[in-house]
Amino acid sequence: MPLKDYLFQDFKLKAESIFDLGELYKSLFRWFELHNYSFFEREYKDIDEPAGKHIEIFWQAEKEIDAYVKFVIELNYFVLGMQKVEIEKGGVKIKTNKATMEFRITAYLLKDYGDKFSKAPLGKEIRFIYDKIIAKSRLDKYEGLLTNEVNQMMDEIKAFIDIHKY
């Protein structure tokens, strides 16, 4: 069975902002493509509530690093109380959205994703030795790389929010 080595678990970013939901979606989509992740939308919920629209989007992105390790980022974002607003920017009226956004980020190394060790006799013991001794420096390097990528993604989200403050 593959082993998940968590680096971030349900890390939260939250902001209230005026923004274009379509642009946010495209921006995050492009980020994953630019960083060579394959990803899919596990779930999308769109609920009308008295306080405004409530949207939940659940993505899972994976990147194969080698035959033993994959990077996995789960990005769940929630748009709460979204209402359509009209603002003026540079003398031009623009229709956009106002809402509270919350992002929850989980990231981990998925080790032995091909499930090769569990099929071998003493597989768990061999995998433990492999992870802690043989491949330790390489796995530590991968942890640093994934942490860096998640931090870049969070910076991208923060920049998007800052750019769209009016």
In whole angstroms, what is the distance from residue 64 CA to residue 62 CA? 7
pTM for this entry: 0.89
Is the confidence at residue 166, as pLDDT, over 80? no
Is the confidence at residue 56, as pLDDT, over 90? yes
Q: What does the pLDDT read at residue 121? A: 81
Show the tokens assigned to 78: 């929630």
Question: Is residue 36 left, alpha or beta, with left meaning phi > 0 and alpha meaning psi from -120 to 50?
Answer: left
Q: What does the pLDDT read at residue 155? A: 93
More confident residue, 88 or 84: 84
Beta bridge partners of 97: 19, 84
Q: What does the pLDDT read at residue 165? A: 58
Is the confidence at residue 120, as pLDDT, over 80? no
Domain with 124, as residue range(s), is: 3-163
Give the pLDDT band (50/70/90) at residue 91.
confident
Q: What does the pLDDT read at residue 164? A: 60
Q: How many domains does the chain have?
A: 1
In whole angstroms, what is the distance from residue 56 CA to residue 44 CA? 6
Is the confidence at residue 126, as pLDDT, over 70? yes
Q: What does the pLDDT read at residue 92? A: 87
The predicted model gives 18-32 an average pLDDT of: 89
CA distances for 79 relative to 32, 45, 56, 103, angstroms: 20, 10, 6, 9
